[in-house]
Chains A and B, each alone.
Chain A
């Protein structure tokens, strides 16, 4: 090839060259790492504890609900006030952050980035491989957990789950993975933004604490600033409630909690303010068909996936603009 004055028409070669290799390495690294082992043990212990306690409670109330297996995920007891979905909602972000907070800055600090990118591979493949590797590891852990809970349920209840329960639990598993994906993408973004892993993990944990613990305090404040006071002359104001809900749903925790609620408690008919006119003709307490429950959670589920893609896209743009000198 000769030097020429012809204009550059873009780079050649697939951006996904090497993706499989990066994905395989990252997944193997995660699954064999001590960090993942500790986190998995933590999640499994919590889940097992919750499952055993709640099944003992369920056994005493068999016959009260046709969705016993779903109650494994939602039930609370006097000894354990947190349900399994509450535990997962709290722990999954920690696991996801732990998996991804040093994805890119770790490569910089180990001085492996320039060596890897000097191979025939684009940054696209490296970043996506790292994200998918972490997501796959998280998915494997969650699938194992899901099977474990169902296994414990089978043993303790002596009944198989119904088809509808299986579909709802599968939907819940997909939503849980999507929820983990948001936090993975966020941790990946911070690993691109901050060169020091300690800063990245602190930023990610700070965001997690804000969105999981303080958001329910922050959302009403913002809502009253935007839509006025919560109470009107005739009672709660719909404008305020809607605004608060929109702000509340900016948190992935809210989206995940609503998704879990609608899927695992089939009697849930709406995920927001309900007017009396909407309840006309409804049989209160009657379960919603599974398809209707999926229609109900569709915005939440797509919201989680969209948030993952958006945060990943920001990380991608920032990573593409970085100078590789390590």
Chain B
């Protein structure tokens, strides 16, 4: 991690009666870093977020968020953290401005600060023209943007976004992801919880994968692919001839070769083996194409939970 650590959790645990919702979770997030939190429903993602926000008390363990303990200093943590819950709600009878002014005042902003920040925040999320309209006239996508504007107004050290793109159309989703990148550019650490793995992969620096209350995997997508798929690098090869797969599999570092049909093969390798593959196949004039493919988070996720399911069965 490059910057200062702004979220640090050690053995964070939450128990509801006999149910262990979060089980000794350890992780860190640095300033300006975007970390994706993934996992099936009920895997402990939201409970972990709520503990980091000081909205629920951990059974044991400790966290430090923006320099403060959410259990001891929840007000200080909340001053420095912006939260966008999934399916965000606003006071329908109030305008966007009044809604944000209310939470701004709760956040300790002065009237002048609210006035100064409101227009800039709304312009940044593309709602500048409807800032004085009642929220009841807003679409779900506009509400999500308004939620992000609320975070921008707060200028937090940490932004926690829970399923922020669920209700958005593809174009709005791309714009929203750009806004999240904008938060990173501002130096804000972002925790992004989502089931849209392609979006997480496109925007996150690192990923934390939760399963049954535990932090099962953590790292970059390449690191996760290395752990789950057996190779951190995916190379697509187009080649004709006999025993192509065997010859590629014999290259040091290659973990797996999957025939994709026709003359196409997918190679999982521990390192970027393109040069070696090209040398071995080009010698006999069989290579027609070689492409470096980023490991897909979808594949990592599916493969991991398939392995977990198999292990359980």
Interface residues of A (CB under 8 A from B): 1-4, 8-13, 17-18, 21-22, 25, 29, 110-112, 114-122, 323-326
29 A–B pairs (Cβ distance < 8 Å), ordered by A: A3-B8, A3-B62, A4-B62, A11-B71, A12-B76, A13-B73, A13-B76, A18-B105, A21-B102, A21-B106, A22-B106, A29-B93, A110-B90, A114-B55, A115-B85, A115-B147, A117-B55, A118-B78, A118-B82, A118-B85, A120-B74, A120-B78, A120-B108, A121-B75, A121-B106, A324-B55, A324-B56, A326-B85, A326-B89
Contact status A325-B50, CB under 8 Å: yes
Q: Is B132 an interface residue, CB under 8 A from the partner?
A: no
Contact status B50-A115, CB under 8 Å: no
A300 CB to closest chain B CB, in angstroms? 38
User: Which residues on the A side are within 8 Å of B150 (C-beta)?
Assistant: 115
With A2-B64, A118-B83 given, is the CB distance from A112 to B90 under 8 Å?
Answer: yes
Q: Is B166 an interface residue, CB under 8 A from the partner?
A: no
Name A's interface SS. loop
Contact status B89-A110, CB under 8 Å: yes
Q: Bound complex: CA of A8 vs CA of B89, how far in Å?
A: 33
Which of B53, B56, B72, B92 is the one whose CB lies under 8 Å from A9? Answer: B72
User: Which residues on the B side are within 8 Å of A325 (C-beta)?
Assistant: 46, 50
Contact status A120-B75, CB under 8 Å: yes
Q: Bound complex: CA of A112 vs CA of B84, how far in Å?
A: 11
A-B residue pairs, 10 tightest by C-beta: A111-B89, A119-B106, A118-B83, A13-B75, A120-B75, A120-B78, A110-B89, A112-B89, A21-B105, A120-B79
User: Which residues on the B side are within 8 Å of A119 (C-beta)?
Assistant: 78, 103, 106-107
A195 CB to closest chain B CB, in angstroms? 14
Contact status B76-A111, CB under 8 Å: no
Q: Bound complex: CA of A325 vs CA of B71, how far in Å?
A: 17
User: Which residues on the A side are within 8 Å of B56 (C-beta)?
Assistant: 323-324
Most chain-B Cβ atoms within 10 A of its Cβ — which of A10, A13, A17, A120? A120
Q: Is B67 an interface residue, CB under 8 A from the partner?
A: yes
Contact status B8-A115, CB under 8 Å: no
Q: Bound complex: CA of A1 vs CA of B157, how far in Å?
A: 15
Contact status B92-A111, CB under 8 Å: no
With A118-B78, A121-B75 given, is the CB distance from A3 to B107 under 8 Å?
Answer: no
Contact status A8-B83, CB under 8 Å: no
**Which B residue sits closest to A14, measured CB to CB?**
B75
Which of A10, A29, A326 is the one whose CB lies under 8 Å from B72? Answer: A10
Q: Is B27 an interface residue, CB under 8 A from the partner?
A: no
User: Which residues on the A side are within 8 Å of B73 (C-beta)?
Assistant: 11-13
Contact status B106-A1, CB under 8 Å: no
**Which A residue sits closest to B63, measured CB to CB?**
A3
User: Which residues on the B side are within 8 Å of A9 (C-beta)?
Assistant: 72
Contact status A120-B87, CB under 8 Å: no
With A3-B8, A116-B103, A120-B108 given, is the CB distance from A111 to B85 under 8 Å?
Answer: yes
User: Which residues on the A side are within 8 Å of B217 (C-beta)?
Assistant: none
Q: Bound complex: CA of A128 vs CA of B71, how far in Å?
A: 22
**Which A residue sits closest to B90, measured CB to CB?**
A112
Contact status B102-A118, CB under 8 Å: no
Encode B42-84 as 1/0 by CB contact (under 8 A) with A.
0000100010010110000010100111011111101101110
Q: Bound complex: CA of A116 vs CA of B147, how far in Å?
A: 12
Contact status B8-A118, CB under 8 Å: no
Contact status B83-A11, CB under 8 Å: no
**Which A residue sits closest to B16, measured CB to CB?**
A323
Contact status A324-B89, CB under 8 Å: no
Q: Is B88 an interface residue, CB under 8 A from the partner?
A: yes
Q: Bound complex: CA of A323 vs CA of B56, how far in Å?
A: 7
User: Which residues on the B side are within 8 Å of A22 (C-beta)?
Assistant: 106
Q: Is B247 an interface residue, CB under 8 A from the partner?
A: no
Q: Bound complex: CA of A3 vs CA of B74, how far in Å?
A: 15
Encode B221-247 as 1/0 by CB contact (under 8 A) with A.
000000000000000000000000000
**Which A residue sits closest to B91, measured CB to CB?**
A112
Contact status A1-B89, CB under 8 Å: no
Q: Bound complex: CA of A110 vs CA of B91, how far in Å?
A: 7
Q: Bound complex: CA of A86 vs CA of B93, how far in Å?
A: 35
**Which B residue sits closest to A33, measured CB to CB?**
B93
Contact status B55-A13, CB under 8 Å: no
Q: Is B10 an interface residue, CB under 8 A from the partner?
A: yes
Q: Bound complex: CA of A29 vs CA of B118, how far in Å?
A: 22
**Which A residue sits closest to B98, measured CB to CB?**
A25
